[in-house]
Chain A
Amino acid sequence: MRLSRLLAIFCLATASVTAAPAQTLKLLVWEEYLDPSVLKAFTKETGIKVVEDNFDDNEGLMAKTGTGKSGYDIVSPSDYAVQIMVRRKLLAELDHAALKNLKNLSPDFTDLYYNRGQKFAVPYTWGTSGLAYNKKKVKNPPASWADMFEVEKLQPLKGRISMLDDAREVAATALLALGLDPNTGKPGDLEKAAVLLRRQKPFLAKYDSASAEDSLASGETWLAQGFSGDIATAQAENPDIAYILPKEGVSFFVDNLCILQESKNKAAAHVLLDYLMRPEVALVSMNAMKFASTNKAIKAEEIDESLRSSAALMLPAREKRVLFMDPGQEMGDAFEALFNDLKN
């Protein structure tokens, strides 16, 4: 009965492994958000262990934590996702006494509609989703979203264009091109947008949020809607990549750090949040991940030189910034339906 002995050993081994470790914070954050070295240094300083998982769109994050028993402590929703998660009572109120470094945040990002007074969220990074293109390949670069729906302009780039795989972001480009509100509550507006997007689709290589910058940098695609930080990464790899903020306005986002209501480690979570707001810590992630920090205590000359002139730090004029808002369940479905219909 050697087998049974083997089994017994195996059971013992698994039992010893599942024994509770020291205090551990579980993070569910954007990919390309925090530099791993930052978390390592945090563990070294405080003894609190950190485990990181990633998501690649707000909708995925909200669904994963929406059941209220996800097991995570800290999440990094964008603006409108914070609004929705507050409505669904998923976020814990922040204890400002434990967050001394809140003072480091730039007022540009603290006084936004979803987060007056930083009750539930610490704004941490910001960015835009504009248009990036390969200067060598695109002779007649677009200047506006409207250009993205003109057949003659798209024709030479057929099969070399990617748009984000994100219902809100894609719908916004068409709505902006039409002069409509990207936060529209009218299904009729979406129908108009759908006509444009349907016309554009045959020219696209793919809808892709996660590796759009890779395809762009490697030359597989030539024109892409992309998040500024990702495009900055592509620019660091390939100097031919340029980035523009289309003139109608551009989707502008602020990604936040929030503590989940369900977290059993709220005190430790506050310690990590405060740590991440130190300028020297925020700087490390910013230089490595290339998403702009909201931290005003970072000195301009400390930012990587290449990053300073990159897509990441192109801040649109105030009136051109489009912040998404909670569309409500009905309009949320409508946005999803628009995108699904586009894929039919």
Chain B
Amino acid sequence: MFLTSIFLLVPLVVLVVYSFSGSRYATVWGGFSTQWYVRLVDNVELREALWITLKLGGLSTLLATVLGTAAALGHWRLCGGGTRAVPTFFYLPVMVPEIVLGLALLIFFTKVWTVERGLWTMTAGHVVFGVCYVFAVVSARLRGFDARLLEAARDLGATPWQAFRLVQLPMMVPGIVGGALLSLALSLDEFVISYFVTGAGISTLPVKIFAMMKKGVTPEINALATVLLMASVLLALLSIMVQGKHRAD
């Protein structure tokens, strides 16, 4: 485990340390400097890409969460807590390599439903895998739910809607939040599908980073990565806190 930790941490340390390098090359150390962070703040293109990434992530997570949660609920009502009848269909997209999904969508959007590619075509792809993850996480959560609780609520005079909203939904929330966060995290980092179906002037952060890398990596990318890393660590801590709080409740 000690060696594993080193294996896991060394690239990250390198990443962070080199973001403070004075050299123009991301692979060569050139003395301490914070110039790349200054540059980062001034980089309009990256800001634009970040904004598009967030929009795409928000939009696709929203859709995936709504669709995935509804589907998981429907499936639960249909089959109860049974684990055997999990529809493999919902897990298929995860079993297909991203690049295949990317090119399939490219064919679809160029030769079948010809549209100008951009935010919406990317959203279409991101929701596909997002739905799967939300479905899986919410389903897992519902598996432990006792349907008799709903009946009890009905017996006590609740309408079906009230029973759902006051009994079942609160119990589902951690699953929904977990699924949504997973879907969001994957969307923010997704590269291949976005790369295939992106449009003119619409670059997500990963696509932009890939383009920057091909140009030759400057420590500016390291600086960006460090900032993103901090943001995701914060996000992760937040989600642990939210879920921990729910558990405490």
Instruction: Please determine if A and B sit in direct contact within the complex, based on CB atoms under 8 angstroms apart.
Output: yes
CA distance A24 to B118 in the complex (A): 15
Beyond A10-B62, A53-B203, A210-B214, 7 additional pairs, beta carbon < 8 A: A10-B58, A14-B59, A52-B201, A54-B215, A211-B214, A211-B215, A211-B217
CA distance A37 to B40 in the complex (A): 17
Q: Which residues of A contact B58 (CB under 8 A)?
A: 10, 14
Determine how close the nearest CB of chain B comes to the CB of A316; give it in whole angstroms: 26
CA distance A7 to B180 in the complex (A): 13
Q: Which residue of B lies closest to A213 (CB)?
A: B216
Q: Is the CB of A71 within 8 A of B117?
A: yes
Q: Which residue of A lies closest to B44 (CB)?
A: A36
Q: Which residues of A contact B28 (CB under 8 A)?
A: 218-219
- Would you give the 0/1 interface string for A46-72, flagging 1 where the beta carbon is closer than 8 Å to chain B? 000001111010000000000101111
Q: Is the CB of A53 within 8 A of B27?
A: no
Q: Is the CB of A218 within 8 A of B25?
A: yes
Q: In this assembly, does B211 line the interface, its C-beta being within 8 Å of a C-beta of chain A? A: yes
Task: From A52, A56, A71, give the contact of B116 (CB < 8 A).
Answer: A71
- Would you give the 0/1 interface string for B207-249, flagging 1 where the beta carbon is closer than 8 Å to chain A? 0000101111100000000000000000000000000000000
Q: List chain B positions with a Cβ less than 8 A from chain A.
A: 23-25, 27-28, 55, 58-59, 62, 110, 114-119, 199-201, 203, 211, 213-217
Determine how close the nearest CB of chain B comes to the CB of A65; give it in whole angstroms: 9
Q: Which residues of B contact A280 (CB under 8 A)?
A: none
Which one of B28, B214, B216 has the greatest number of beta carbons of chain A within 10 Å?
B216
Q: Which residue of A lies closest to B116 (CB)?
A: A71
Q: Is the CB of B216 within 8 A of A214?
A: yes
Q: 15 A-B Cβ contacts within 8 A? A: A7-B62, A10-B58, A14-B55, A14-B59, A26-B201, A31-B215, A52-B201, A67-B110, A69-B110, A69-B114, A70-B117, A71-B199, A71-B200, A218-B23, A219-B28
Q: Is the CB of A17 within 8 A of B200?
A: no
CA distance A11 to B175 in the complex (A): 23
Q: What are the 8 closest A-B residue pairs judged by CB atoms, nearest first?
A: A71-B200, A51-B201, A210-B214, A214-B216, A211-B216, A26-B200, A218-B25, A72-B200
Q: Which residues of B contact A213 (CB under 8 A)?
A: 216
Q: Is the CB of A18 within 8 A of B119?
A: yes
Q: Which residue of A lies closest to B48 (CB)?
A: A51
Contact A51 B25, CB 8 Å, known A10-B62, A32-B215, A211-B216: no
Q: Is the CB of B214 within 8 A of A214?
A: no
Q: Is the CB of A214 within 8 A of B116?
A: no
Determine how close the nearest CB of chain A comes to the CB of B112; give it in whole angstroms: 12
Q: Which residues of A contact B27 (CB under 8 A)?
A: 218, 220
Q: Which residue of A lies closest to B111 (CB)?
A: A67
Q: Which residue of B lies closest to A56 (CB)?
A: B214
CA distance A2 to B28 in the complex (A): 50
Q: In this assembly, does A163 line the interface, its C-beta being within 8 Å of a C-beta of chain B? A: no
Determine how close the nearest CB of chain A comes to the CB of B42; give it in whole angstroms: 11
Q: Is the CB of B200 within 8 A of A51?
A: yes
Q: Which residues of A contact B62 (CB under 8 A)?
A: 7, 10
Q: In this assembly, does A150 line the interface, its C-beta being within 8 Å of a C-beta of chain B? A: no
Q: Which residues of A contact B25 (CB under 8 A)?
A: 214, 217-218
Q: Which residue of B lies closest to A10 (CB)?
A: B58
Q: Which residues of A contact B23 (CB under 8 A)?
A: 218
Q: Which residues of B contact A18 (CB under 8 A)?
A: 119
Q: Which residues of B contact A17 (CB under 8 A)?
A: 55
Q: Which residues of A contact B217 (CB under 8 A)?
A: 211, 214
Q: In this assembly, does A286 line the interface, its C-beta being within 8 Å of a C-beta of chain B? A: no
- Would you give the 0/1 interface string for A26-42, flagging 1 where the beta carbon is closer than 8 Å to chain B? 10100110000000000
Q: In this assembly, does A237 line the interface, its C-beta being within 8 Å of a C-beta of chain B? A: yes
Q: Is the CB of B215 within 8 A of A210?
A: yes
CA distance A24 to B199 in the complex (A): 14
CA distance A67 to B115 in the complex (A): 11
CA distance A56 to B27 in the complex (A): 21
Q: Which residue of A lies closest to B176 (CB)?
A: A3
Q: Which residues of B contact A28 (CB under 8 A)?
A: 200
CA distance A70 to B200 in the complex (A): 6
Q: Which residues of A contact B59 (CB under 8 A)?
A: 14
CA distance A71 to B118 in the complex (A): 9
Q: Which residues of A contact B115 (CB under 8 A)?
A: 69
CA distance A32 to B200 in the complex (A): 18
Contact A237 B200, CB 8 Å, known A10-B58, A211-B215: no
